[in-house]
Amino acid sequence: MGTATNEVLEHLANLRMGTENIESGYRNFALSGADKFLQWSRANTSLVDNEQRTLRALTADNPRQQRRLSNIADLLQQMAQRDDAIVRLRRTPAAEEAAALIRSGQDDPLLQAFRVVAHDIEAEEQQLLRERNATAVNRYRATKAALIVGSVLALLIAAVSAWRWPGIKPNARRRKTSSSASIACTQWSPA
């Protein structure tokens, strides 16, 4: 039970990791100006896109999760626009302003909003998993009870049958028929 939920949780974890990697790469680029951090961020962008598509497919039957995934898509779009602005700013004479903004240690409100929505998705999936597991346990118990009741009924039927017809023995009936035929043959003799 819960295979789809486990898949959602796995892909959500990948989405979170990819998003954190993207933001870390842009932050490091803003601080250092090294293009390797941009390459790292761009590589993780395709991972994030794939995970979003997979999550949409896995949660297609859940409108609440679809809304949350739409919120995540909007937040990721805003983050991408902001990250592009950081790249442009870093490549201008005002590069130190971009680095100073990152060094200030301000929490990124977009990343925080992403984390909240991702947490909400995870919480709902965990709740669904608990509900599915409880349903599976209840079905197991019902099946076990049905098997026990069925077995008891079968034993009861067998006991009643044995009690109702205690004197019938198939071999005894056959011997009686055979001895009657023998007696009839010995009594009749051609004279």
- Kindly state whether residue 21 falls inside one of the protein's structural domains: yes
Q: Are 121 and 174 in the same domain?
A: no
Q: Looking at the 3D structure of the chain, how many domains does it have? A: 2
Q: Exposure pattern of 119-148 as b/e (b: 16+ CB <10 Å)?
A: eebeebbeebbeeeeeeeeeeeeeeeeeee
Structure confidence by residue, pLDDT tens digits, 24-62: 998 888 888 889 999 989 899 999 999 999 999 999 999
Host domain of residue 160: 143-179
- Kindly state whether residue 188 falls inside one of the protein's structural domains: no
Q: What tokens does 87 get?
A: 């790249």
pTM of the model: 0.65
Q: What tokens does 26 get?
A: 């842009």
Residue 102 has pLDDT above 90, yes or no: no
Q: Are 116 and 175 in the same domain?
A: no
- Kindly state whether residue 189 falls inside one of the protein's structural domains: no
34 Cβ neighbours under 8 A, 6+ residues apart: 28
- Kindly state whether residue 111 falls inside one of the protein's structural domains: yes
d(CA 187, CA 162): 38
Q: Are 18 and 107 in the same domain?
A: yes
Q: Are 52 and 110 in the same domain?
A: yes
Q: Report pLDDT for 47.
A: 93
